[in-house]
Amino acid sequence: MVAEKLSEELSKDNAPRWLNTHGLGVYYFHVRIDESNRYYSNYKEYEKWE
């Protein structure tokens, strides 16, 4: 399901999408698809997509 939704988002336009996950301290796996690099901005490799 996550792959299908990410594929849908990627086909909308040419903008990058960011797949974020989290599961620390919760009983479920949290997945979010973002249009900004909110959690990657500290990494030099991702600067060009800001």
pLDDT mean values, one per 10 residues, the chain (50 residues): 91 86 78 82 72
Residue with tokens 């909110």: 38
pTM over 0.85: no
Report d(CA 50, CA 48) in Å as an integer. 6
Q: Give the residues across from 21 on adjacent strands.
A: 31
- Where in the chain are the domains? 2-49
pLDDT attached to residue 45:
79
